[in-house]
Amino acid sequence: MPENEKLNSEEVHTEGISKGQFKRSTHPRYDWLDQFRGMVIVFLVIASLTWELASENFAITPPLGPTWLNHGWEYYDQQPVIITIIDLGSQIFMFMLGISLSLSFKSKVEKKGLHFAWLTVLHRVFSFFWISQVISVDFDFPIFKVIALVIWVLITVGAAVLRNLRKFKDNIYRPLFGVVWALSSIGLWCVQARIPKVLGSGYFWSAFFLEAPAHLAWGTLFAAVFVFLIKKPDFRIIIAIIIYLGHFIMWEFKPIINASIQAFWSQWDIPFDMLAMGAIAITATCIWDWMQMDPNDQIIGFKKRVIPIMLITGLLHFIVDFFQTAEHHGINLSLGLLAIAFSCLLVIVFFSLEFFYKYKIPPLTHIGRNALFLFLFQGIFTLTYPEIWGDALAFRTQMASLFGVAELTHPLVDLMGLIAFLVPMLIMYLVAWLMDRYHIYIKV
């Protein structure tokens, strides 16, 4: 490649973004990363829908939507389950968060200091723990829960107002409001879940170790700690390898180790997913740093590290899978390696799309810019759809009777299935577009 065409990481790739649009960000905004985020969110939405409209009995009715866009185990439950791209969703999301963390942490340390960077990390970590509590909430409203929720609303409004006061806008302690808000939210959510329940049962394990957002929280924390402690990615990657080696060995002796743990804490297990997500996030931070190996030419990093890492993890996945078959429930080494290999592949493809081909997949940037919000927003559909249709059979039966047809696989029924998928996706896109239009970005 000619000298003048080298890819400089300092060139901010924010084509088409108005001045000041991301003025709160301390680092440049990368379009390829937004596109990558957007794609993951689209897949997550589809995954929620194929989940809700899956088939419970194939002899009676097929599910709705493309088969390969289902969770393997939800599509057909057997041992071992088949793995699809959808099963890798949260791991790829973790990988993306790892990349973003490495990018923003260093930039914040450089521009606003170490404590600012750490406060933002803690804000994100505690927010994920709070989200983890939110998604496992019971929908009943006794008086103490209502009081807790009202207090939470007041705290949230207060924190939002304080954060946006001109006085604090450029203050380096601004993220402190976020940390306090997230901690208060966690506390209040423990209250609404009833303190005795929190202390006496598996609530703590579930909210802080078992749920997907809790994994994201731990992964983020792991990534930040090791980005801070080990500057060189060539050394940092060793931590990920050690975690995975430990994971591999413990997985082999799972029953014995779990029995020992449960002798003390009955509801607890080895936190396999937390460890695996930590390793994925650390690897992602390394990938980002390797991409900056030569700040004047990012291709060097791709050639020397990113592509080889992709090939090695792909090969290792193939080998390890013979011994520890990839599973959706419990991110084992095989699944983790596959997720890393696939994420690297997507990074390469999206990077190429932006830098070499100068091409953007139309709606992805808008979605990617509010990835976290839309990740949560799609929960609306996962909550509402089951209230209307329990599964594919319920949907097909209702639609067949609506059109007065006997066949559950009648083209009209299939067409309604398509609409049931397209409507939420269009709403999501509309929300994303509007938020992007008015520069509203929800970030933690």
Partner 1 sequence: MNDPPIKINETHKQFHSLHPRYRWLDQLRGVIVFFLLIAFLTWQFSSTLGLGLPFGVPPLGPTWMNHGFKYSNSNPPIITVIDMGSSLFMFVLGISSAISFNSKSKKIGLWYAWVSGISRFFALLWVNQVTKIFYRILPDWKLTRFDVICILSWIFITTLTIILRITLFKKSNEKILLMLGWSVLSVIIWFPTVEENIWTIFFNETLAYLAWASLFAVFFLTLVKNPDRRILASFGLFAIHIGLWELAKTKLTHPTHWFFEVLPGTPLDVVGIPFNIINMTAIAISATCVSDWLLKSYPTQLDGIKKRILPYWVFILCFHFVVDFLQPARHDGITASLAALSIFFAIFFLIMFYAWDTYFDAKMPFLTPLGRNALLMFLLQGIYLFFYGFFWFNAYDFRRRFPGLLGNAIGLGLFFVPIALLICIAWVLDRFKIYLKF
- Residue 106's contacts (CB-CB under 8 Å, 6 or more residues apart) are 227
Which residue in 48, 50, 55, 343 binds partner 1 (CB under 8 A)? 55
Smallest separation, CB 374 to partner 1 (Å):
19
- What is the rounded distance in angstroms from the CA atom of residue 218 to the CA atom of residue 273? 10
User: Residue 256 interacts with partner 1 (CB under 8 A)?
Assistant: no
- What is the rounded distance in angstroms from the CA atom of residue 292 to the CA atom of residue 338? 24
Which residue in 80, 202, 330, 386 binds partner 1 (CB under 8 A)? 80
- What is the rounded distance in angstroms from the CA atom of residue 303 to the CA atom of residue 309? 10
- What is the rounded distance in angstroms from the CA atom of residue 369 to the CA atom of residue 338? 26
User: Residue 166 interacts with partner 1 (CB under 8 A)?
Assistant: no
User: Residue 175 interacts with partner 1 (CB under 8 A)?
Assistant: no
- C-beta of 264 vs 359, nearer to partner 1: 359
- Residue 122's contacts (CB-CB under 8 Å, 6 or more residues apart) are 175, 179, 182
Could you write out the DSSP letters of every residue in 357-425? S----TTHHHHHHTHHHHHHHTHHHHHHHHHH-SSHHHHHHHHHHHHT-S-TT-HHHHHHHHHHHHHHH
Give the x/- contact pattern for partner 1 in 57-76, rule: CB under 8 A. -xx--x-xxxxx-x-x--xx
- C-beta of 18 vs 57, nearer to partner 1: 57
- What is the rounded distance in angstroms from the CA atom of residue 188 to the CA atom of residue 65? 39
- C-beta of 142 vs 411, nearer to partner 1: 411
- Binding part of the chain for partner 1, among 103-111, 256-264, 388-396, 417-425 by CB under 8 A, reads 417-425
User: Residue 35 interacts with partner 1 (CB under 8 A)?
Assistant: no
Smallest separation, CB 121 to partner 1 (Å):
32
Residues that bind partner 1 (CB under 8 A): 1-2, 5, 55, 58-59, 62, 64-68, 70, 72, 75-76, 78-84, 299, 302-303, 307, 311, 317-319, 321-323, 325-326, 334, 338, 345, 348-349, 352-353, 355-359, 361-362, 411, 414-415, 417-418, 421
